[in-house]
């Protein structure tokens, strides 16, 4: 049951559902969990690359296998956010622009 409490476990359950549906096709996604207690973000790419920009620098999240193509085996990366926060942006040319800003309220 522990495997279902991780990003790879979540992806595994989604891919199982895709296989059993009989009509779902592979797609690109980015999965993540933000832990506010230690300002870390854990990300797993499933066909998309992204960049995390903070005051400490920039880190690239590399594109890996698509969702529906054994993405549950993809590596996760755990990144630390600076105290000032950061911005997570997709790096796909031709894809819709998307970014998520993390900052402390107050």
Q: How far apart are CA 1 and CA 9, in angstroms?
A: 9
Whether pTM > 0.75 for this model: the answer is yes
pLDDT in tens, 6-27: 999 999 999 999 999 988 999 9
More confident residue, 56 or 96: 56
Average pLDDT over residues 88-106: 82
Residue 37 CB contacts under 8 Å (≥ 6 apart), including other chains:
none
Residue 79 CB contacts under 8 Å (≥ 6 apart), including other chains:
40, 41, 42, 43, 52, 59
The CATH class of the 2-102 domain is alpha beta
């Amino acid at each position: 049951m522990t495997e279902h409490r991780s990003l790879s476990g979540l992806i595994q359950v989604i891919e199982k559902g895709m296989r059993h549906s009989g009509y779902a096709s592979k797609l690109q996604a980015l999965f993540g969990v933000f832990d506010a207690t230690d300002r870390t973000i854990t990300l797993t790419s499933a066909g998309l690359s992204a960049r995390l920009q903070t005051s400490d620098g920039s880190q690239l999240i590399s594109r890996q296998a698509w969702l529906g193509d054994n993405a549950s085996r993809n590596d996760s990366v755990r990144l630390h956010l600076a105290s000032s926060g950061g911005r997570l942006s997709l790096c796909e040319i031709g894809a819709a622009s998307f970014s998520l800003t993390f900052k402390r309220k107050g």
